[in-house]
Amino acid sequence: MWNSVASIACLIQSATPCSNGVVIQREHRHTNGMTTIGSNRLFTALLMTALAGIMVQMYRSFLLVPQFRVFALRVVSLFLEALPLLLAGAVVAAVAREILPSERIVAFCRRRARLGLPLVSLAGFLLPVDEHRLPDLMNRLERQGLPVPHIAAAALAIPLLNPVVIVSTSVAFPAQPQVLLARILGGMAVAVITGALLAAWIRPDASRNDASRNDASLRDGSSSRHTETTPRIRFRIDRTVQNTLAVFLSLVRYYLVAAVVVGLIQGIGLPASLEALRFAIVPGAIIAIGLGYLFSAPSAGDAFIARGLMTVLPAPALTGFLIVGPSLNLRTAPVFARFLRTGHLVLLHLAVFALALATALATALAAAPASATLP
Amino acid sequence: MSAGTKRILTAGILTVLVIAWWLLLVTAGIHGSIRGLFHPRVYSRALGAAVVLVPLASWYLFSSLSGSPDGAAPPRGVTPDTTEGGKFSPITARKLLPLLIPLLLVPAAIREPTGDRSSLDFTPGGGTGTTTTGSATPPESPLLLAVERALEDGPALEGSDGAPEDGRSPDSPEPVSPAGEPGSASSNANEVHIAETGTILIEDENYARLVDLIWDDPRRFAGRTVEMVSFVFRRPRWPETFFTAARLSIWCCLVDAAVIGVLVETDPRSAPREEEWIRVRGTLGVLDSFDTGTIVMERVPVLRDASWEVVPKPDFEYVFPADW
């Protein structure tokens, strides 16, 4: 393919020497008093056209490959199924972002910190936050003096326990309410127990910042509220629409990566030697937890990804995926690392993985089928 | 190129992509390419989402044309969005690429929708996910009530006789609804046809749910004659005397399709060929256990004394779990 592109280039730039027909030197030379800038542009345009033509031809060839068609169907299926939920997640997050500025969320968590970790871990139900806003929220919570364990609990729970996630999980597993129940209860347990472990591990003075800075931050927050006298509706609609689209595009990007990987996994299938994995809860759950951590799929649609993995992993094991995926993953781990020391970060990972595994095992025990037994 | 022009271009591309998505879904739906690939509800929800995206993208284009810059500070009186210093979340052309990928995959996805059955395994029940085989009290459902009502009114069945030539019951049975009034049910999925001979006709509309009911409590249906159009499904490790009269049940999409149906016990010398479409008729019995090679199922419904005829593949070969 590249040789043909280079040949086209050589034909176009006949005056330009081509070594091996592949390397093309780009020079500005004078010909009859005119520069070759114009011909270079023409060359670039033709090269791009040739490349586009080759891509189209390759795409048309791919359309004839049955395996590619099945793969495409898998990815499109996963995408179409999650599309409404991804959009709903983006709309809810953007509207919440507009009507619930960060100051209010910070104030909510700060005021209720004394009431304990369980209440903080339920913040996502009242204050849906898109996952990209979470790092900023965590930084502000830390600056304003919320104890680190409470921040960790909130950060683990908010992406996992919110209305959009509940709806998407129930849509993805309509006949398996135990999956939704395990996700909610397991998610709460992960947030609260991990927070409690961190609270026991971290010295209180180490988790607090300078009180004067907190006061200054609060004053900043309150001063901005005082300016809210004559809101401009048009500006706010513009901002909400743009935030919705931005969040939606971001969710789609991460979701598609996970969907493509799941499409490939489904296509490749399991070798005969690993067929037993479909029924092995513990290894299955460990793999599911690892995939959840790596995929970093957006919580609004990750239930559909999990269901796509049901062909290779047992359903109860996927609760591990559903718990770890949104709360602790490759995207959020660096955020936790910003305000946790290495030891605390390791503890956080171990606690979340262990609790997710325990939830998967509990789900398996609760859903043990009466009619099917392993060979 | 100025930032404003870039923003307008990006907004324009986004709007075009979203409209293209919407048009593609509508066109594929009208053309019928979507049918059989996705459950109708998945398709309609996706179409709804695409419809919502169109005005959002149009508004973004409109606001871009009217000059609202990305980095605009909030006007006096508007609370700044502290996440990004009060600015908008920027949308760049690079961020639009994800929308392009599924758009490119759709033409491949909707071409010749056929499921690859080689990797599928047999699923107990009707694929509705509500099978409670082994439970003492299977759930009551309108369809079950309709079946029982019809069977109470009709003759008791032992064995099979009088198989219809074309399978569409020659006894011209009226559909029986849960209330027991022929043809009065609002949904086909809750109707059942019982031939005058007492044969339960399992049809496309209620296939998944009837099969589910049979799996729920095979003993309840033991001795009854059933008839269905199915394809022959068999796994290499199965005993030669068994095959499944099966259909592909689409829960969400074709890629999630599950093989559902009822086992048929037969003489291997006269068994139909795999993948062949047949109209099969037989008496329901109960098998103590059956090893699929991956799981051992207990109390499995099985068709005995079965007779069949080869029929053409139906226009629409898939069935949907009706309760979803």
The reply to whether residue A62 touches residue B108, judged by beta carbons under 8 angstroms, is yes
Nearest to B275 by CA among B303, B245, B249, B240: B245
- Alpha carbon B208 to its chain centroid, in Å, reads 9
Sign of torsion, CA B138 B142 B146 B147? negative
User: Distance between CA atoms of B16 and B22, rounded to whole angstroms?
Assistant: 10
Compare A64 and B14 and report the one with higher pLDDT.
B14
How far CA B155 is from CA of A76, A229, B255, in Å, comes to: 49, 79, 41
Task: With beta carbons under 8 A apart, name residues in chain B contacting A59.
Answer: 104
User: Is B249 in CB contact (< 8 Å) with chain A?
Assistant: no
Percent of chain A scoring above 90 in pLDDT = 13
pLDDT higher than threshold 70 for residue A359: yes
Task: With beta carbons under 8 A apart, name residues in chain B contacting A98.
Answer: 81
**What local confidence, expressed as pLDDT, does residue A149 receive?**
86
Q: Average pLDDT, stretch A166-180? A: 85
Contact A103, A224 (CB under 8 A): yes
Q: pLDDT per residue over B76-124, tens digit each?
A: 555 555 555 455 667 888 888 888 888 888 888 877 655 556 666 677 6
How far CA A287 is from CA of A301, A308, A320, A355, A366, in Å, comes to: 19, 14, 9, 15, 20
pLDDT higher than threshold 80 for residue A375: no
User: Distance between CA atoms of A350 and B250, rounded to whole angstroms?
Assistant: 39
Q: Average pLDDT, stretch A89-97? A: 84
Lowest-pLDDT choice from A32-41, A57-66, A230-239, B20-29: A32-41
Q: Average pLDDT, stretch A99-124? A: 67
Position A338 confidence tier, pLDDT thresholds 50, 70, 90: confident
User: Distance between CA atoms of A91 and A248, rounded to whole angstroms?
Assistant: 8
Question: For B252-277, b where at least 16 C-beta lie within 10 A, e where not — what string?
Answer: bbbbbbbbbbbbbbbeeeebbeeeeb
Residue tagged 């949308």 (tokens)? B91
The reply to whether residue B102 touches residue A75, judged by beta carbons under 8 angstroms, is yes
User: Is B107 in CB contact (< 8 Å) with chain A?
Assistant: yes
Window 109-128 of B: residues touching A by CB (8 A cutoff) are 109-113, 116, 119, 124, 128
**What local confidence, expressed as pLDDT, does residue B124 receive?**
67
User: Distance between CA atoms of A245 and B61, rounded to whole angstroms?
Assistant: 12
User: Distance between CA atoms of A184 and A177, rounded to whole angstroms?
Assistant: 11
Position B189 confidence tier, pLDDT thresholds 50, 70, 90: low
Position A12 confidence tier, pLDDT thresholds 50, 70, 90: very low
Lowest-pLDDT choice from A19-28, A360-369, B208-217, B235-244: A19-28
* H/E element, A345: helix A342-366
Compare B75 and B170 and report the one with higher pLDDT.
B75
CB pairs under 8 A between A and B: 201
Say if strands B296-310 and A372-373 run parallel, antiparallel, or are unpaired: antiparallel
Interface predicted TM-score of the whole assembly (ipTM), two decimals: 0.70
Q: Is A369 exposed, middle or buried (0-12, 13-18, 19+ CB in 10 A)?
A: middle
Q: How many CB atoms lie within 10 A of CB A17?
A: 11
Nearest to B103 by CA among B6, B7, B10, B16: B16
Window 264-283 of B: residues touching A by CB (8 A cutoff) are none
User: Distance between CA atoms of B34 and B38, rounded to whole angstroms?
Assistant: 6
Q: Average pLDDT, stretch A201-229? A: 48
Report the mean per-residue pLDDT for chain A: 76
Q: Average pLDDT, stretch A219-224? A: 43
Window 128-147 of B: residues touching A by CB (8 A cutoff) are 128-131, 133-135
The reply to whether residue B116 touches residue A237, judged by beta carbons under 8 angstroms, is no
Window 3-22 of B: residues touching A by CB (8 A cutoff) are 14
Contact B249, B129 (CB under 8 A): no
**What local confidence, expressed as pLDDT, does residue B153 receive?**
60
User: Distance between CA atoms of B132 and B137, rounded to whole angstroms?
Assistant: 9
Coil, helix or strand for B260? strand
DSSP A248-274: HHHHHHHHHHHHHHHHHHHHH---GGG
Position A106 confidence tier, pLDDT thresholds 50, 70, 90: low
User: Distance between CA atoms of A298 and A294, rounded to whole angstroms?
Assistant: 12
Mutate to test the interface with A, among B59, B63, B78, B137 (most CBs of A within 10 A): B78
**What local confidence, expressed as pLDDT, does residue B170 receive?**
42
The contacts of residue A16 (CB under 8 Å, 6+ apart) are A10, A24, A25, A26, A27
Coil, helix or strand for B300? strand
**What local confidence, expressed as pLDDT, does residue A65 receive?**
80
The reply to whether residue A230 touches residue B77, judged by beta carbons under 8 angstroms, is yes
Percent of chain A scoring above 70 in pLDDT = 70
- Nearest residue in A to B105, CA atom: A72
**What local confidence, expressed as pLDDT, does residue B163 receive?**
38
The contacts of residue A276 (CB under 8 Å, 6+ apart) are none
The per-type count for chain A, helices as H runs and strands as E runs, is: 17, 5
* H/E element, A231: none
The reply to whether residue A230 touches residue B76, judged by beta carbons under 8 angstroms, is yes
How far CA B98 is from CA of A156, A259, B14, B93, B95, in Å, comes to: 27, 12, 11, 10, 7
